[in-house]
Amino acid sequence: MIVIGIDLSGPANHKDTAMAVFQTIGDELVLLDMLVDVDDEKILSTIHSFTAQDIILGIDAPLSYQDGGGDRPQDKCLRHFVKEFGLSGSSIMPPTLTKMVYLTLRGVSLTRRIMNMTAAEKIRIIEVHPGAAIGTRIEPEKLSHVRHYKKDIQSRYVIFDWFKSVGLKNLSKDITETSHQMDACAAALAAWHWGDPAKKPIWHWEQITSAHPFEICC
Q: Give the confidence band of 7 by pLDDT, cuts at 50, 70, 90.
A: very high
Rounded to whole angstroms, how far apart are CA atoms 142 and 12? Answer: 34
Give the model's pLDDT for residue 149: 95
**How confident is the model over 30-46, as a mean pLDDT?**
97
Domain span at residue 196 reads 2-217
| pLDDT for position 60 | 98
Flag whether pLDDT at 52 surpasses 90.
yes
Is the CB of residue 115 less than 8 Å from the CB of residue 47?
A: no
Q: For 160-187, what is each residue's pLDDT tens digit? A: 999 999 999 999 999 999 999 999 999 9
DSSP class per residue in 109-158: HHHHHHHTSTTGGGEEEEEE-HHHHHHTTS-GGGHHHHHHTTT-HHHHHH
pLDDT at 216: 98
User: What integer pLDDT is reported at residue 180 of this predicted model?
Assistant: 97
Percent of the chain with pLDDT over 70: 100
pLDDT value at residue 118: 86
Q: At residue 39, does pLDDT exceed 90?
A: yes
> Which long-range contacts link 196-203 to residues 24+ away (Cβ below 8 Å)?
196/1, 196/24, 196/56, 198/27, 202/132, 202/133, 202/136, 202/137, 203/78, 203/81, 203/132, 203/136
DSSP-assigned states of every residue in 75-86: HHHHHHHHHTTT
Give pLDDT tens digits for 62-102.
999 999 999 999 999 999 999 999 998 888 999 999 999 99
Q: What is the pLDDT of the chain when averaged over all its residues?
A: 96
Question: pLDDT for 118-150, tens place per residue?
Answer: 889 999 999 999 999 999 999 999 999 999 999
> What confidence score (pLDDT) does residue 89 get?
86
Domain count, the chain: 1
